[in-house]
Amino acid sequence: MDFRFLIVDRRNVKCEMRNSRWGLGESGAALILALLMISILVVFVLETMRAMQVEGAGARHFQDGIRAEALAKSGVNIAISLLRNDLAENEVDHIGEPWALLPKPDALPVDLSEAGTLEGRVEDEMGKFPINYLVDEDGKVREVYRQVLTRLLTNAPFQMEEEEAQGLVMAVRDWLDKDDEPTGEFGGETDYYQSLEQAYECKNGPLTSLAELRLIRGVSEALYVGTEEKPGLRDLLTVYSDGKINVNTAGPLILQALASPTVSPDTAEGWAESVVAYRQEPMHWDFLSESDWYRNRMAGYNDISLPVELITTQSMHFTVQMTGKVGVGRKSIFAYLERRKSDKEEQNPVDVFVRYKEVY
């Protein structure tokens, strides 16, 4: 036997085996590479789809936000139109007028239901206590305003002691007047506020925002904000006013505070509840233009007297808050409106000015 042929054959077999293993390795690598590419492609497609969904949702949210803001603006514009037409037709304002019923569907001159959901309110600021009128141009206290504010603080739900209420009124006076002389023991001027841990100066001028009340000595956060059970000062006072209080729109707490000091708290509370109930009846709305309807039109309250220099049945200052909701979009607008009889001989005898507007 020739062993050389065996050796050659064995070498050939080894070469074939090595070639066979190398051929299988190429196929496996190709398969793995193909799977890897497919995986990368799948991930890319999924990420692209996700990005498109996010972008689409963002676009929808942006579009819905624009439409929601336009809807809120429509609500404000409707309020302006109703207020203008109302003063052109009559000079009495009460809670039964179209502007006061906004944005209830029945009060809207146009149907906005297909555009989205409109929520909000129009509020008569002259149904609140005008805090800036506590002092006059010379910094002296207007006595009738001091009495009303003191009664507001001593009545329920605040029920302050007389001394505490008087101290708070003094502190408010010092914040509003122009001098740096504190009023009594509980007053507060710059010297007091500079002594605080976070020092600041006394404004010595009218409030531009009710939020400034929180800076005044004696005004706690709870007193300003209130609770779920009772209102705070921010719900009862206003910086938008001509100094008058509309008896047709004032809330029961303001009405009680307006009653003469000779009237007992229980009588004042019962009278205020009767006033609120009386003016809610449509059959009584024609009588609300009378300057003393609150006394002559309700039996049992002929002896009720209010400070005539404070009382009115017409309003010129309003705040509007409207919220538009469209799809996932939500936008709100707050606006302060001042209404005035126009001095110009033009088609619209009434002007409504937007003195402040905030979109959020």
pLDDT at 13 over 80: no
Same structural domain, 114 and 148: no
Whole-prediction pTM value? 0.83
> Pick from 309, 330, 351: which residue ends a domain?
309
**Quick check: 180 and 189 in contact, CB under 8 A?**
yes
| Count of domains observed in the chain | 2
Looking at the fold, whether 351 and 273 belong to one and the same domain comes out as no
Query: What DSSP line would sit under 55-92, residue for residue?
Result: HHHHHHHHHHHHHHHHHHHHHHHHHHHHHHHHHHH-S-
Tokens of 54: 């996010």
Q: Is residue 69 domain-shared with residue 157, that is, in the same domain? A: no
Residues 6+ positions from 323 with CB-CB distance below 8 Å: 72, 118, 119, 120, 330, 331, 332, 333
* The predicted structure's pLDDT at residue 234: 97
**Structural domain boundaries enclosing 228:** 127-309
d(C-alpha 295, C-alpha 263), whole Å: 13
Answer positive or negative: Cα dihedral of 298, 235, 137, 243: negative
In the chain the beta strands, taken as DSSP E runs, fall at 117-124, 129-130, 237-238, 245-246, 311-312, 317-326, 329-341, 350-359
CA distances from 283 to 67, 87, 90, 280 (A): 40, 21, 17, 9
* Residue at which a domain ends, from 287, 309, 331: 309
Q: How far apart are CA 195 and CA 199, in angstroms?
A: 6
Q: What is the pLDDT of residues 332-358, one digit of tens each?
A: 999 999 999 877 766 678 899 999 999
Which residues face 324 on adjacent strands? 118, 331
Whether residues 320 and 304 fall in one domain: no
Does 71 share its domain with 187?
A: no
pLDDT at 145: 97
Per-residue pLDDT at 322 = 97
**CA 250 to CA 248: how far, in whole Å?**
6
Which pLDDT value is given to residue 22?
44
Same domain, 275 and 338: no
> With b meaning 16 or more CB within 10 Å and e meaning fewer, what string describes 143-172?
eebbbbbbbbbbbeebebeeeebbbbbbbb
Do 166 and 288 sit in the same domain of this protein? yes
Looking at residue 269, its pLDDT comes to: 94
Q: Residues 95, 110: contact at Cβ < 8 Å?
A: no
Q: Residue 357: helix, strand or coil by DSSP?
A: strand
CATH of the domain at 267: 1.10.40.60
Q: What is the DSSP string of 15-45?
A: HHHHHHHHHHHHHHHHHHHHHHHHHHHHHHH
pLDDT tens per residue, range 190-226: 999 999 999 999 999 999 999 999 999 999 999 999 9
